[in-house]
A and B are shown apart, each in its own frame.
Chain A
Amino acid sequence: MRAGEGNDPGERATTPPTRRRQEIFLGEGTFPQPEATENLLVNIGPSHPAMHGIIRLFAELDGEELVKADVEIGYLHRGFEKHCEAGPYNNAMPYTDRLNYVSPLINNFGYASAIEKLLGIQATERCEYIRVILSEISRITDHLTCIGASAMELGAFTVFLYMIKAREFLYETVEAVTGARLTISYGRVGGVKADLPPDFEAGVQTAFRETRTVLDEVHKLLTGNRIFMDRMKGIGTISKEEAIGYAITGPLLRACGVPFDVRRATPYWVYDRLDFEIPVGEVGDNYDRYLVRMAEMEQSMRIVEQALDRLPGGPVNVDFEGRPFSLPAEYVDRGKLGKTGGLLLTPLKLSPNLRGQEAPLHHAVNAPDKRAVLPSKETTYGSIEGLMNHFMLIMDGFGIRPPAGEAYFAVEGANGELGFYVVADGSDRPYRVRCRPPCLPPMAALPRMVEGSMVADIVPTFGSINMIAGELER
């Protein structure tokens, strides 16, 4: 009950009037309308269970209603762009892993492609297929995390556990290829670190079977769920025009009904050869975003299955002339002792994800460009040209040196357009690397999405944005 309400003097006496702070100091009656209420300023975050990722939301509340909100970010700013300028081009690759750490492969490939654009080189067809396959697997893991986490915040813990289970299967396939789950550093300028392992396709099939089961279960649990729909429908809505003005891309823009997808608008790699649909929503609320993400996962699986069918070259696990593979340690020892006779032609058996590339795989997944791609181990240890090539790419002041110029390359990240704008000055390190973070625009629009709604609506809206602090703040 508000102060001053009720006409019975006895009732008023039992309800202590809410006094303004000024009145406590200046005495009663300083303000003519003591019954006026004051908006309450509340800090939500930076450390709050429902704020996955550290941001601070200043919320001005009138009761339960959010009058005004201001977002403060920057708690995870690590100076990615400054660090990129400090080292050679390939040294930025591990930093890009840490931009969007739920789908790091897309960042890797986006950055590598931007440098390739600067150099004017083209990755091999097999490499582009590998990039597409791994990007789409990453997109699924990202969407699973987003939906799982925001469902958990609305009380659906089962969904979170199911989705994380499916994500585990996908991470296992990623781990089989790259050797790591999150900090993968698998992309390379001109190629990828290693070829796909021999049993990759079977692993993907298992993972997709599990993921499809989980998606089916989640559809049954959430899509028609009364509680879930009440929390999601009509909440966090943003119109098509506003979303475009805020430069929102990805699932959030598609939920507004705009079929913009970088994979379709400006096709890169081999996306123009693959058949997929772009799911769109209607009104642009949280529920549409949920549906768009659910549909996109199925589309991503379709893309991966098509790409695996068409993967050129097939699995490369036998030497093309049937010679025995030798062990890397013996190989290096022979090379260092100068016994290089025949080394160049002896195929090497390397662990695909840890040591580098043997010659037959090297040509399949790397661009034939000596300015950008490290030679295979056989060439490095078996020939003086290979050794020189290797040094020219490793030595300080040499390395990859794109001609002076600038290029912007955009890929469709899990949250929208992930762009890399790189300025080269002709030296071996980038002059400027700018990452266009896909989740910054929705975060800028967050106050617009939640103002006027209830405090509790912040949670699903924030969850649907899928803010990844690593890429937001770089």
Chain B
Amino acid sequence: MPMDGSAILARLTERFGAAIRETHDYRGDHTAVVERPVALDVLRFCRDDPALRFDMLMDLTAVDYLRYPGREDGPRFEVVYHLYSVAENHRLRIKVGVEEDDPEVPSAVPLWSIADWYEREVWDMYGIRFAGHPDLRRLLLYEEFVGHPLRKDYPMNRRQPLIGPRN
């Protein structure tokens, strides 16, 4: 039976207490914002808890809040996990704040195999490292690429061709 989203959030808060910094259900998407030190524990709990059983990491991405109005003093990045339970048919979003000067979160590769490529993509696009990732290479761009293009301070029109004029 799918669990109600607020019941999932209540279960997480009950288990982790203050480490769940914030929860909300904007537009029906239930979200928990989690402190970084317990992020891996929360994810593991979500996967292994018999009531939650989030067996699929549907998506993993990041958001750069550098220019987001009202977020000037918070952590610059957020790593966003979209979890789905094939067994129970419910969804959850987990967000982990990451500071600019220490952009690192624990890797979820031991929990879900797909985290390998997702984390490589986030490293590629945002420069967030995943501690414990077996092979953190760029996924979409080439190794010679300088910078991380989806960061808000990476200019839209910067070109880095491998061949031809560079700017």
Contact = CB atoms under 8 A, between A and B. Distances in A.
Nearest to A119: B27
B136 interface: no
Interface residues of B, number: 36
Interface string B61-85: 1011000111000000000101000
Contacts of B57: 247
Contacts of B139: 73-74
B114 A417 contact: no
Interface string B28-58: 1101000000000000000000000001111
A244 B86 contact: yes
Contacts of A246: 112-114
A431 interface: yes
Contacts of B113: 242, 245-246, 444-445, 448
Contacts of B89: 265-266
Interface string A83-104: 1001000000000000000000
Interface string A434-445: 101000110111
Contacts of B82: 408, 419, 421, 436
A419 B116 contact: no
Contacts of B149: 79, 82
Contact of B59 (A120, A258, A407, A434): A434
User: Interface size for chain A: under 10, 10 to 19, 20 to 34, or 35 or more residues?
Assistant: 35 or more
A450 to B, nearest CB: 15
B55 A74 contact: no
Max count, chain A CB within 10 A of own CB: residue among B55, B58, B150: B58
A12 interface: no
B156 interface: yes
B93 A432 contact: no
Given A77-B140, A82-B156, A260 B27 contact: no
B141 interface: yes
A419 B58 contact: yes
A27 interface: no
Contact of A423 (B63, B86, B150): B63
A444 B109 CA distance: 13
A79 B79 CA distance: 19
B6 to A, nearest CB: 17
A117 B27 contact: yes
A125 interface: no
A144 interface: no
Contacts of A404: 69-70
Nearest to A83: B156
Given A245-B113, A245-B114, A421-B80, A81 B58 contact: no
A434 B31 CA distance: 17
B16 interface: no
Contacts of B150: 81-82
Interface in A429-474: 431-432, 434, 436, 440-441, 443-445, 448, 473-474
A419 B114 contact: no
A74 B141 CA distance: 6
Interface in B84-118: 86, 89, 91, 93, 112-114, 116-117
Contacts of A426: 69
A404 B27 CA distance: 11
Contacts of A444: 113-114, 116-117
B93 A408 contact: yes
Contacts of A436: 58-59, 82
B110 to A, nearest CB: 11
Nearest to B24: A405
A178 to B, nearest CB: 28
A233 B82 CA distance: 34
Interface string A231-258: 0000000000010111100000000001
B145 to A, nearest CB: 10
A43 B80 CA distance: 35
A83 B150 CA distance: 10
Interface in B105-141: 112-114, 116-117, 125, 138-141
Interface string B155-166: 010000000000
A4 B66 CA distance: 65
Nearest to A406: B26
Interface in A401-424: 404-408, 410, 417, 419, 421, 423
10 contacts: A73-B139, A82-B149, A120-B27, A244-B86, A247-B114, A408-B59, A425-B69, A436-B82, A444-B116, A444-B117
Interface of A: 73-74, 77, 79, 81-83, 86, 117-118, 120, 242, 244-247, 258, 260, 265-266, 404-408, 410, 417, 419, 421, 423, 425-426, 431-432, 434, 436, 440-441, 443-445, 448, 473-474
Given A258-B86, A266-B91, 10 more contacts: A74-B139, A74-B140, A245-B114, A246-B114, A421-B59, A431-B63, A431-B68, A436-B59, A473-B140, A474-B140
Interface of B: 26-29, 31, 55-59, 61, 63-64, 68-70, 80, 82, 86, 89, 91, 93, 112-114, 116-117, 125, 138-142, 149-150, 156
